[in-house]
Structure 1
Amino acid sequence: MKNIHITLTDFRNESRVLKEIASLESFSIFESYIVIALSSGDLPFEERISSRSVVRRINLISRILPKNGPFQVIKFFEFMLKCIFMVKKEQAQVINIHTIALLPFAWLIKKIFKVKLVYDTHELETEKNGLCGLRKRISKWTEAKFIGSCDLVIVVSELIADWYADTYKIERPLVVKNAPRLRHQDKKDLFREALPILPEQKILLYQGGLTKGRGIHLILDAFKVREENDVVAVFMGYGDLACEVQQTAKNHSNVFYFPAVAPSIVLDYTASADIGISLIENTCLSYYYCLPNKLFEYAMAGLPVIVSDMKEMADTVQRAGFGMVLSEYSNKAINAAVDSLAFCDLGSFSCHAYQFAQANAWERQEKVMLEGYHRMLTR
């Protein structure tokens, strides 16, 4: 059997999909795996992941068209038409999609080629940040119309699974948390080796997407008014706010920017910090119910964390006892939390963090995922 994953990205740092394919491959669920992605000027059209897995990036003729609405629709239809031809050529038996926009076409592929359909959502798709108006109404209609046709639905947190089951009256989706593989992560010092950070300065790390709604401005504003340079903030990632972080770093000696690194080495950099932070803002239900991968990465590196009061993330940190939950997001409150963690004995926090990481490592998530695939394939 063949398994095809379709994504509307250029497949650059897709750690979750890579882990899923590696697990499926390790247990020989399928004979081969193809990821269909969008082409990018700096990435090859075909890239081998392993002996049985390959990424194929589709070059769109319509890419030369402008980026506004109607032309984007033309590009989307060209992409999906080429996906349909590729599914036919490869004779795949299971199709995975990773975004709601692909649901109608995936349904069509399922009907035409009699394949199994896996809807692997990376967040609460119809309630995500920035989705509003007509686009939100179309998304809600699309998901309600087609989710019942999926053979397996996978989500990233318990509250999101409850929401899908309650909203659409479907079988409760499989919860596969976005955690790294279990490892003993030794402390590193990569940030101090690359950046002018003093040995006595503690490092507060934000890693992940540098986009709105992630608390980037909250952290930047708090560090702009810190009077002491005993703690520095390092932002590691990419996104629309990267330039703003870089500009702040030029003007404030306690803020640093570091570009995103490959998933295979990200934990080495995580382990080069002292504290992790995730101030997700309550801008949408998807964020309120989120359980971000950075939380598991911080924990695997033994970092205590400062998190915002988003329901599942806050409950998780409080139950596991490896950090602080902020209910107020003023500069004063953020800096007080930073000081509270930076200058206390972090041993127990670090121990609890790693215990949480062990209990939720990818090896645990992998078992849940594989059981779901076995049930789907034997129906």
Structure 2
Amino acid sequence: LFIFQGSLSEGRGIEMLLNAFSKNDKKKHVVFMGNGVLENVVKEYENNFSNIHHHPAVKPEKITIYTKSADVGISLTENTCLNHFYSLPNKVFEYILSGLPIIVSDFPDMGKIVDEYKCGWKVPVEENAIKAIINTITQDIIYEKRVNALHAKDHFGWHLEEPILLSVYRKLGF
């Protein structure tokens, strides 16, 4: 089960994901969890393809329950500007902290995490590339990447950032 969480809006590869999953093995399912301008497009695909699903946004305190029930998290950003090209979305870390391997845009910072921790796949944000990567993902590979994601999560999180932030505040006299 693949999951995309967040705003269902332009620039996140949603339409390419929908097309890729609609033309792929129907045993591979994707859930789009969220609301936004593309919500009706997602629902239309859901009505026509048995492997595409929509779930409305949930309260932040409940999202981890849904995240952990998936096998792979998806965080794609289309390269429409330098800000996107060098972005590192929170969703990448949310998936890793939930122990999920990730599919991310083949951009420098997202790709660096995938390469360094071997916790997922980086892909050009193009329909055929997305479809191809989905086809290569098996349960065995998911298991391997999940183990790596669980190891990677030890390198991210508030428990590491809190002392740094508190140190800065102390130096500033707060």
TM-score, reference length from structure 1? 0.44
Match of 1:308 in 2: 105
Code of the residue aligned with 2:7 in structure 1: it is: G
Percent identical: 37
Match of 1:268 in 2: 65
Q: CA RMSD in A?
A: 1.6
Give distance in 1, aligned partners of 2:51 and 2:79: 27
Match of 2:150 in 1: 354
Give distance in 1, aligned partners of 2:165 and 2:59: 24
Worse-matched range after superposition: 365-374 or 236-245: 365-374
**Counterparts in 2 of 1:376 and 1:242: CA distance versus 1, 3 Å:** farther
- Alignment coverage as a number of residue pairs: 174
Give distance in 2, aligned partners of 1:265 and 1:319: 29
Match of 1:215 in 2: 13
Match of 1:244 in 2: 41
Match of 1:51 in 2: none
Give distance in 1, aligned partners of 2:160 and 2:139: 34
What do the CA deviations read for 1:310-364 (whole angstroms, capped 9, x no partner)? 2111111111111111136233x21221122234343321121112112111111
Give distance in 1, aligned partners of 2:104 and 2:40: 24
Hey, which of these two has a bigger chunk of strand by percent? 1
Judge conservation of contact 1:278–1:306 (CA < 8 Å) in 2. Answer: yes
2:85 aligned with 1:257: no
2:92 aligned with 1:295: yes
Give distance in 2, aligned partners of 1:262 and 1:238: 12
Hey, which of these two has a bigger chunk of helix by percent? 2
Q: How many angstroms does 1:235 deviate by? A: 0.4
Judge conservation of contact 2:13–2:125 (CA < 8 Å) in 1. Answer: no
Give distance in 2, aligned partners of 1:368 and 1:285: 28
Judge conservation of contact 1:231–1:342 (CA < 8 Å) in 2. Answer: no
**Counterparts in 2 of 1:375 and 1:275: CA distance versus 1, 3 Å:** same
Match of 1:376 in 2: 172
Q: Which has the higher contact order (CA 8 A, sep 6+)?
A: 2
Judge conservation of contact 1:222–1:334 (CA < 8 Å) in 2. Answer: yes
Match of 1:335 in 2: 131
Gaps of 5+ in 1: 1-202
| SS at structure 1 position matched to 2:163 | helix
Code of the residue aligned with 1:207 in structure 2: it is: Q
TM-score, reference length from structure 2? 0.91
Give distance in 2, aligned partners of 1:238 and 1:320: 31
Give distance in 2, aligned partners of 1:371 and 1:359: 19
Give distance in 2, aligned partners of 1:309 and 1:251: 30
The runs of at least 4 consecutive aligned structure 1 residues that moved more than 4 Å come to none
Code of the residue aligned with 1:225 in structure 2: it is: K
Gaps of 5+ in 2: none
